[in-house]
Structure 1
Amino acid sequence: MPEPSAPPPTPPVSLAALLADGSLGLRLIAGLPDAPTDRVAVHWVHTSEMADPYPYLLGGELLLTAGVQLTDAHAETYVRRVVEAGAAALGFGVAPVYDTVPDSLVEACDRHGLPLLEIPRRTPFTTVARGVWRLMAEARHRELRRVTEAQQGLAAAAARPDPVPAVLRQLAVRLGGRAVLFAPDGAELHATGRDPAPGCRTALARLARVVNPPGATSPPTSATDTVGGARLAAYALGGGQGLVLGVAAGGREAGDHTVTGVAVVLLSLLTAPHQGAAEAARSAALVRLLLGATPTEAAALLGPGPWTVVHAHGGDTPFAASALAAALGSALAETDGATVRVLTDRPVTGQAGWTLGVSAPAGPAGLAEADTQAERALRHAEATRADLVRHREPGSDALTALVPPEEAAAHARARLAPIAGSPALAETLRTWLSLHGSWDRTAVALRVHRNTVRQRIARCASLLEADLDEADVRMDLWFALRRL
């Protein structure tokens, strides 16, 4: 049956809702032997006693008639024309012309699959029309409430530290299906929700390429499709990044298009590049560095500091780095795909789903050393299965404070001179001692095999001419390593 070409702004009423309204007393007598009545949508009501109402129907109507001009010979043609016009259903009043619905009309409606409703004597056509408008008003109220709640949920998701995945999750929940953000090359950047029908993922990826085809100058901004009863849609996001939002839902509810439209706007804003005051300062600092300025000169544009460097592992989305940076109160973040590094002037606290290594606060001149501190702290955190490990500065305990720094540094250089030319040996010894001589934890922290750790420690013992099983020796070496 054709869809109405210009549906009204109010949501349709299902035929099942009309039949369930006891005050109307409507009865389905033909046209839908097996199909569910909740899939028949009534968009409006029209009354006509013309022999051929086709020219006056828009589609989607519940057409009401008392059969003033209906005859048995004419029933087949009448029903065929009503179906061709796209009417949703036919309501037949058993008074005042007919006492019962004509058999010829019942048979014709069964042949053409047109739902036929019997309207009892006690129900005027105006009462049926008023019942439809009342149900439409109730449906409109439900739609507005659903859209309002969805807008609030999407807005709250956009304010989270991980706004893009959060908005996609909220959209998938509201639509009861799947939401996907596609990269310009068609790869899934993030996906959430359930597939409403088999084959949805492949079809949705194909639909995304329709709105973002390679080399196209003016592609469509949206596209729709159906697969296995599921409704698919793809929307090109604004911002010039070539991103596409794909959604798949098992059915279509009033307000779905509005809800999805809100998500499209939010995702376009969240994924678009911005050049605010903070971004301008970062750009200026980068330009200064590229033009030969020192880190100290460039850092002055970012804020007074001091700064803390954070190394982190975790997160499972392409937006994880920016989400972590936002949670730590910074926009200065980068990732090599495995480790996220964040530079922040705020206090650092643990973050769910992340393992963090945190440096000591440093000024611009000390950021390189702070980066090394954060790297070591992260390795220690992973080896000890801690969520967060902070670097501790040498001299933070009372014992080391008893030795003058110059003498401590000289002792460290002399004691560790045999391995000074091998950073791998020095770092392995430092990590091994910090983890109380654990081979397995050291291997995890350094990301090497435990046999490699054993070989390096044995080499250190040989070069240093030290028995590393002795507690005094370990303490002496640890003291020296902390002064390097």
Structure 2
Amino acid sequence: MSDPAATPVPPTPPVPLSALLAREDLGLRQLAGPAAADVVVHWAHASEMADPFPYLLGGELLLTAGVHVTRAAASSAGTPGRPASGSGGYFDGYVSRIVAAGGAALGFGLAPVHDTVPHALVAACEAYGLPLIEVPPRTTFSGVARAVWQLMAQARTAELRRVTEAQQSLATAAARPDPVSSVLRRLARHVDGRAVLYGPGGTRVAEAGRDQPEGVDGALTELAATVTRRASATATDTAAGVHLAAYALGAGQGFVLGVAAPHRGRGDHTLSSVAAVLLTLLTGDQLSSTGAARSAALVRLLLGATPQDVAPLVGTGRTVVVHARPDAPAARPPGGGRAAAPADPADPAARRVAVGPPGVPDAVAASALGAALGSALVDLADGVVRILLPDDRAPGPQPGWTLGVSAPASPADWPAADTQAARALARARATRAPLVRYGDRPGLVDLVPRDAAEAHARTLLAPLSPALAETLRAWLSLHGSWDRTAVALSVHRNTVRQRIARCASLLDADLDDADVRMELWFALRQT
């Protein structure tokens, strides 16, 4: 007798037998076997063969009217209250063959052959653990089959909806400022388990989800190491009743996604594969020929080359500098307190992930932002991401980020462009704008010779320290708003008031005068 568990079943969503019994239009009734809630049916098949074994694939609800037992079982069927004795009876052999073929359940139709279900058949099904269903005369076998397919279609639709919504959720998570942690949290929630990102050497880079039984974490780590050693794409295992899966990210990167879930649904593999693709993009080195050239440019700068010397390796034409920070700092209250990073309260995994300070991106998030903008020249320092971008790739707003973009600059003016991007970012954060560009259009400063303008600015602003000058610049750019200036400079509003009062005293100027403000703004633009 073959093992029913090893019998292949159709790749279709299973239907709980209890759902079929709940259909009032069918009027089905279970007479024997295990509880219907624990049995699933993959399809329905009608047959009057005395030995159905060669015609079953497994997982079927086999339907029969008992035509094949009219004479053959006459001597062994027994009578009501006295079923046939011995294990060699007709129904005993018949039911054992169905079980051996992997049949899920047996449906016995009443009329026109039998008025009742033979008692010997009930006893055999109970002995072999095969659910026995009574089909009333008014219900046709085709009606039962149609009901099975309808339930399968409903299950398939629900599964596709779940997978589609989960894929969209994962894609949204990948666009957050902390993309790796967000993707892991979402995946863990969708599979109701745990998701772990392993780095080269088997180190745990990030993880999220429910705590697992003892021994599961170790087994998952070993499975991830197996994927790395064998250079295989995926691997699966089971530990303490928990289903484990490992997915290699990319080719030769050394990163592995590990997933542990108590129940392995049909859509879970698809979701894990989608998460693996997203994590591959987020952790990839992206070393193309262009990336190699840019890496060479960085090396040459470190070895003493000038920006003009390495500009051809970075790209032709002028360049813009982008400064970026996650949106979280913009939610900081004007009083100077630091607001907490937003979290999904419905996600229990969110409370189990160790993350950095609110609004501070990690290296992976910075790299992901650079990839989204089309540049590998990314620098992360002091919670600010700086990106060098060719002028022909005009950056647009990025979900979850606040951007400040400099004016196009030649290599000799890159330091000035870096300052411009920082000022644009400060203004964007203060005004809650997703993106601010520095110098979108030419102004009066372009009408004055640069040397003369700079000399005038140095003389006019000489009494001010750099901190006071920067505070005055931010205050003027934000139309004298104390709260917005405090947000832009990350200081208390009272500090802004004190500094502006100090500026007015040192300059001996009335800062409420529009002409004075215009002259000071002109001078500040030159520094």
What residue number does 1:244 align with?
A: 257
Q: Is the contact made by 2:20 and 2:147 (CA closer than 8 Å) also made in structure 1?
A: no
User: 1:399-455 CA distances to partner (integer Å, 9 max, x unpaired)?
Assistant: x56654433322222222233xx4223222222232333332222111122333344
Partner secondary structure for residue 318 of structure 2: coil
Residue in 1 aligned with 2:339? none
Residue pair 2:181, 2:206 contacting (<8 A) in 1 also: no
1:72 equivalent in structure 2: 84
1:222 aligned partner: 235
Contact 1:432 1:442 in 2 (8 A): yes
* Amino acid of the structure 2 residue aligned with 1:117: I
Query: Which amino acid in structure 2 is aligned with residue 244 of structure 1?
Result: L
Q: 2:8 maps to which residue? A: 7
Q: 1:306 aligns with which of 289, 305, 318?
A: 318
**Alpha-carbon shift at residue 347 of structure 1 (Å):** 2.3
CA shift, 1:26, in A, is 6.5
CA distance in 1: counterparts of 2:14 and 2:26, whole angstroms: 14
CA separation of 1:23 and 1:365: change in aligned 2, threshold 3 A: same
Does the CA contact (< 8 Å) of 2:246 and 2:259 recur in 1? Answer: yes
Given candidates 422, 442, 458, the residue that maps to 1:413 is: 458
Moved more, 17-26 or 82-91: 17-26
Q: Do 1:180 and 1:246's aligned partners in 2 also have CA atoms closer than 8 Å?
A: yes
**Structure 2: which amino acid aligns with 1:223?**
T
Q: CA–CA distance in 2 between the matches of 1:222 and 1:45? A: 39
Q: Verify the 8 A CA contact 2:13 2:155 in the aligned structure 1.
A: no
Partner of 2:286: 274
Alpha-carbon separation, structure 1, partners of 2:410 and 2:214 = 51
Give aligned-pair identity as a percent: 46
Does the CA-based 8 Å contact 2:427-2:488 persist in structure 1? yes
Q: CA deviation at 1:225?
A: 5.5
**2:295 corresponds to which letter in structure 1?**
S
1:4 and 1:58 in contact (8 A); partners too? no
What does residue 354 of structure 2 align with? none
Report the Cα offset of residue 382 of structure 1.
Answer: 1.5
Q: How many residue pairs were aligned?
A: 464
| Aligned equivalent of 2:352 | none
Measured against aligned partners, the alpha-carbon deviations of 1:354-390 in whole angstroms (never above 9, x if no partner) come to 3221111101111111111111111122122233222
Aligned residue number for residue 378 of structure 2? 333
Q: Does 1:88 align with 2:89?
A: no
Q: 19-28 or 302-311: which moved more?
A: 19-28
Matched, 1:212 2:224: yes
Structure 1 residues 44 and 412: alpha-carbon distance in aligned structure 2, compared to 1, 3 A threshold: same
- The equivalent of 2:494 in structure 1 is 451
Task: Kindly indicate whether residue 407 of structure 2 is the aligned counterpart of residue 360 of structure 1.
Answer: yes
Report whether the alignment pairs 1:103 with 2:116. no
1:293 to 302, 305, 325: 305
Query: Does the Cα contact within 8 Å between 1:210 and 1:219 map onto a contact in 2?
Result: no
Counting only pairs closer than 5 Å after superposition, residues 376-415 of structure 1 correspond to structure 2 as 376-392=423-439, 396-398=442-444, 400=445, 403-415=448-460
Gaps of 5+ in 2: 78-82, 328-358
Please tell me whether residue 437 in structure 1 is matched to residue 480 in structure 2: yes
RMSD: 5.6
* 1:223 and 1:235 in contact (8 A); partners too: no
Question: Cα–Cα, structure 1 residues 385 and 413, in superposed 2: closer, same or farther, change >3 Å?
Answer: same
- Give the aligned partner of residue 115 of structure 1: 131
1:480 counterpart = 2:523 = yes
Structure 1 residues 382 and 227: CA distance shift in structure 2, 3 A:
farther
Q: CA deviation at 1:90?
A: 3.9
Query: Is the CA contact (8 Å cut-off) linking 1:237 and 1:243 kept in structure 2?
Result: yes
Distance 1:24 1:215 in 2: 50
The whole-number CA distance in structure 1 between the counterparts of 2:507 and 2:423 is 23
Question: 2:213, 2:429 → 1: CA distance?
Answer: 36
Of residues 402-411 and 138-147 in structure 1, the stretch that sits farther from structure 2 once superposed is 138-147
What TM-score results when the alignment is normalised by the length of structure 2?
0.65
Q: For residue 409 of structure 1, what is the amino acid of its counterpart?
A: E
**Which residue, out of 184, 197, 209, partners 1:182?**
197
Cα distance change of structure 1 residues 137 and 93 upon mapping to structure 2, 3 Å threshold: closer
Q: Distance in 2 between matches of 1:436 and 1:457?
A: 13
Cα gap change, 1:165 to 1:341, in 2 (>3 Å): same
Deviations 1:225-264 (A, max 9, x none): 6999x977543434333231537597734x6546655664
Tell me if structure 2 keeps the 8 A contact 1:27–1:117.
yes
Conserved 8 A contact 1:161-1:327: no
Query: Aligned partners of 2:484, 2:9: CA distance in 1, in Å?
Result: 67
| Aligned mates of 1:290, 1:209 — CA distance in 2 | 39
TM-score, normalising length: structure 1: 0.70
CA-CA distance at 1:36 after TM superposition: 2.3
| Aligned residues of 1:211 and 1:219 also touching (Cα < 8 A) | no
2:471 matched to 1:428? yes
Secondary structure of the equivalent of 1:443?
Answer: helix
Whether the aligned pair in 2 keeps the contact of 1:232 and 1:247 (CA below 8 Å) is yes
The residue type equivalent to 1:313 in the other structure is R
1:46 & 1:168 partners in 2: Cα distance? 49
* Letter paired with 1:276: S
CA distance in 1, matches of 2:277, 2:508: 67
